Amino acid sequence: MARKPASPLQLGRPTAPAASPEAAVLDRVPNPHKGVAYLVRFTAPEFTSLCPITGQPDFAHLVIDYVPGAWLVESKALKLFLASFRNHGAFHEDCTLAIGKRLVREIRPVYLRIGGYWYPRGGIPIDVFWQTGKLPKGLWLPDQGVAPYRGRG
């Protein structure tokens, strides 16, 4: 949604949870190493959202890798953004892509990939992957480290 005006970040002060992913603010900060190709990884092993049909909780292990451009996503803001999905009803594919696309819109990374490793629903795990941009030549991109489903934990 809309960028927050140039006001203090959510970092370092009490912040109320957002009512929805659309209302959540994703603060960004200048990249102090702009022009250097390096990888940033966020792992959210306890991501939750709601099934849009049943209202039951869905759980995922998210791995977000990105190569910053001019901006970094501020980690507290990312945590609050991800938490805003707890009462949000959407399918696994929609949640995973909405997170990736919102990050791209807000921080304009050189490269971003997101892996959504969803725990089984109806006995079938659903894993969702999306990427954008081009990985800089020679940059090490490690495996996301989440094994195929065998009773994750």
pLDDT truncated to tens, each residue of the chain (153 aa)?
445 545 578 888 888 889 999 999 999 999 999 999 999 999 999 999 999 999 999 999 999 999 999 999 999 999 999 999 999 999 999 999 999 999 999 999 999 999 999 999 888 889 999 999 999 999 999 999 998 776 655
- Please identify every residue annotated as catalytic: 51, 58
- Where do the structural domains in the chain lie, given as residue ranges? 38-133
Rounded to whole angstroms, the Cα distance separating 124 from 40 reads: 30
Look at the pTM and tell me if it is higher than 0.85: yes
Tokens 């996301």 belong to residue:
144
Tokens linked to 32: 């102090």
The neighbour count for residue 56, using CB atoms within 10 Å, is 9
Handedness of CA 116, 46, 109, 33 (dihedral sign): negative
Rounded to whole angstroms, the Cα distance separating 82 from 86 reads: 8
Decide yes or no: CATH 3.30.1130.10 for domain 38-133.
yes
